[in-house]
Amino acid sequence: ILIKLADRLHNMRTLDSLPPKKQLKIANETLYLFAPLAHRLGFHAIKSELEDLALKYTEPEIFTTISQKLVDSEEERNRFINSFTYPIKKALQKEGFEFNILARTKSISSIWGKMEKKEVPFEEVYDIFAIRIVVDTPEQREKADCWKVYSIVTDFYRPNPDRLRDWISTPKANGYESLHTTVMSKPGKWVEVQIRSRRMDEIAEKGYAAHWKYKESKTGESGIDKWLRRIREILKTAESDALDFIDDFKLNLFSDEIIVFTPKGELRTLPLGSTSLDFAYSIHSEVGNHCLGAKVNHKLVPLSHVLKSGDQVEIITSAKQTPKTDWLNYVTTARAKGKIKAALKEERKKQAEDGKEILERKLKQFKIDFNPANIQKLVEYFKLAAPLDLYYDVAIGKIGQKELKAYHSEQDKGGILSYLKNPFGRSRETALPEKAPEPDPIRQQLKSKPDTLLIGDNLENLNYTLSPCCNPIPGDDVFGFVTINEGIKIHRNNCPNAVQLMSKYAYRIVKAKWITNKNIAFLSGIRIKGIDEIGLLRNLTNTISSEYNINIRSINIDTTAGTFEGTVMLYIHDTQHLSNLINKLKKLKGVQSVSRIGKIS
């Protein structure tokens, strides 16, 4: 894993030499799997660099803009940091601490994530940097000294009680330990302060690599040891196809966590969204396989009950209980999914063995030899994937006497039964023509696709639709994705689903570009926020309809305590048309922010 991470980091650093399509594929693979993996192993520096490099190729304009703004604001930022840290340094020196104070600017991808999530411009992201205080202190005094530093910081600056995070008492599963607080500075800006020991800082920066340096001094498994043990279990039981395995593996990479307790008060860490069934499998696979239900805080709950931090969980089991297919809908952890799939597969094999014996007896009644050639013909007749599926369907009664009798009736129509009895005894003249396999819809479309899909070209004889998950319009960088039943769907390169589609199904991606036609209007949407003013709605509609000659499909505005937030669905020609409108609306009195809506329901 470490070698693959290093290799991927090198690939991302040298991505400039590759064609754009290859750059997008590799960048999205990196976002989908490698960056979360680096995060889970605690390699913060590698994770941040991978995400930044991926953003450089998936959103080049955004990457360049934020990079430039960070450079432009560096001098002002440094002045603020020096002023903020000066009294803290003096106080720590007075108390005799050996320490370093660092100011860490957030990564470009992290800043962009904040801008997207909060729908604010760069200038309104308050935590662009964080102050980190690293103290040199013996391991046995770490906790007390970190809290002492916290006390000194809050002597100068008022803390936000809702923003205190204690990962020293309960470290993250990747081994991360630190004390985080957000305080109000003298100029009225919120500032994040991270407090940790030298050991904690090494683990935070170097993750799994630094973890081994300190492992010998500690007893028992750390969070990262437990996680790696779970990953080894997944690797041992990974009998599903590669894509399913990656999905299951990824479930344990990039998730927030909750802390729950056993009836004896033992602490267990689980991903956010875990259920009582996930908890059962975290104890032992046999506990999970025989789980009937659970008691959470002494109240009976179903297997699908979602746990919260602080819950005390007791599992109720029965020797007669076995895993069911719908259990896969009740769990979120890769461990639980893997164990349920393995148990279901084992049960299916047992039933298939019974079905094999039943089929052999039934074929004897029709005087058909039970041999591989005849079994394969039956598999093809019932359109199954493998003999195991045939035996299983016989065992559960899906294929019975009635279905097998169908061969008998086919005898008069072409001698299929005779052919099954004696597949190699026919002359070439009387042999039935072999049935052509049904065409694979995806392969058919991939064969017929052009090198580049021209969107808006009426001569293009391809079935494509604009995907509602990202709502592309002319001017957006786009790609086509070949679906099974819905033709080719057009997605924006920065679509929320692009990462998964490009990394998992690269062979189904089609290059696409727009054929400009100013007579065609496309549905798009904008979100508007601001101060509620008299005549605001009139000004909005006048600007959109009169000045820009844009048809409005719908307007939805909600007002609360003097502020408003709303959406406008409208028909525009291209991204330039939309960008001009957004810039104009931002200048209206009372309007604070205007942004494009991605997904349209």
* Mean pLDDT value across residues 286-294: 93
- Could you give phi then psi for residue 248, rounded to 5 degrees? -65, -45
Q: What is residue 427's predicted lDDT score, i.e. its pLDDT?
A: 42
Burial readout 170-189 (b: 16 or more C-beta within 10 A, e: otherwise): ebbbbbbbbbbbbbeeeeee
How far CA 364 is from CA of 310, 359, 372, 420, in Å, comes to 62, 9, 15, 12
User: Which of the two residues, 430 and 31, has the higher pLDDT score?
Assistant: 31
Can you read off the two tokens belonging to residue 322? 């076995």
The CA distance from 463 to 17, in Å, is 34
The CA distance from 195 to 99, in Å, is 10
Can you read off the two tokens belonging to residue 112? 């962009």
Q: Is the pLDDT of residue 194 over 90?
A: yes
CATH number among 3.40.50.300, 3.10.20.30, 3.40.50.1100, 3.30.1330.90, domain 225-342: 3.10.20.30
Q: What is residue 138's predicted lDDT score, i.e. its pLDDT?
A: 92
Q: Is the pLDDT of residue 449 over 70?
A: no
Each residue of 124-180: pLDDT tens digit? 887 889 999 999 999 899 999 999 999 999 999 999 988 899 999 888 766 789 999
* Mean pLDDT value across residues 536-553: 88
Instruction: State the residue for tokens 């097998």.
Output: 404
Q: For domain 72-215, is the CATH number 3.10.620.30? A: no
For the chain, the domains span 2-58, 72-215, 225-342, 441-514, 522-596
The CA distance from 457 to 459, in Å, is 5
The overall average pLDDT reported for the chain is: 82
The CA distance from 249 to 257, in Å, is 16
Can you read off the two tokens belonging to residue 586? 């931002």
Check residue 275 and report its DSSP letter: B
Q: Is the pLDDT of residue 393 over 80?
A: yes
Each residue of 345-390: pLDDT tens digit? 888 888 888 888 888 888 887 777 788 887 887 887 788 888 888 8
Q: 456 falls in which pLDDT band (50, 70, 90)?
A: low
Cβ neighbours of residue 586 closer than 8 Å, sequence gap 6 or more: 593, 594
Q: Is the pLDDT of residue 329 over 70?
A: yes
Report the 10 Å Cβ neighbour count for 326. Answer: 10
The CA distance from 344 to 284, in Å, is 17
Q: What is residue 112's predicted lDDT score, i.e. its pLDDT?
A: 93
**Bridge partner residues of 261 (DSSP):** 267, 312
Domains 225-342 and 522-596 share a fold: no
Q: Is the pLDDT of residue 57 over 60?
A: yes
CA-wise closest residue to 255 among 215, 227, 280, 283: 227
- Strands (E) located in 198-237: none
The CA distance from 520 to 455, in Å, is 12
* Mean pLDDT value across residues 225-237: 60
The CA distance from 42 to 202, in Å, is 10
Q: What is residue 414's predicted lDDT score, i.e. its pLDDT?
A: 53
The CA distance from 491 to 470, in Å, is 6
Each residue of 99-114: pLDDT tens digit? 999 998 999 999 999 8
The CA distance from 230 to 158, in Å, is 42
Strand order in the sheet with 522-531: 551-560, 563-572, 522-531, 591-596
Topology classification of domain 522-596 = Alpha-Beta Plaits (3.30.70)
How far the first Cα of the chain sits from its last, in Å, is 40
User: Which of the two residues, 385 and 411, has the higher pLDDT score?
Assistant: 385
DSSP string of 426-469? S-TTTSPPPPPPPPPHHHHHHHH--SEEEET-TT----EEE-TT
Report the 10 Å Cβ neighbour count for 322. Answer: 13
Alpha helices in 95-197 (DSSP H): 108-118, 142-156
Count of positions (residues) in the chain: 601
The CA distance from 468 to 497, in Å, is 11
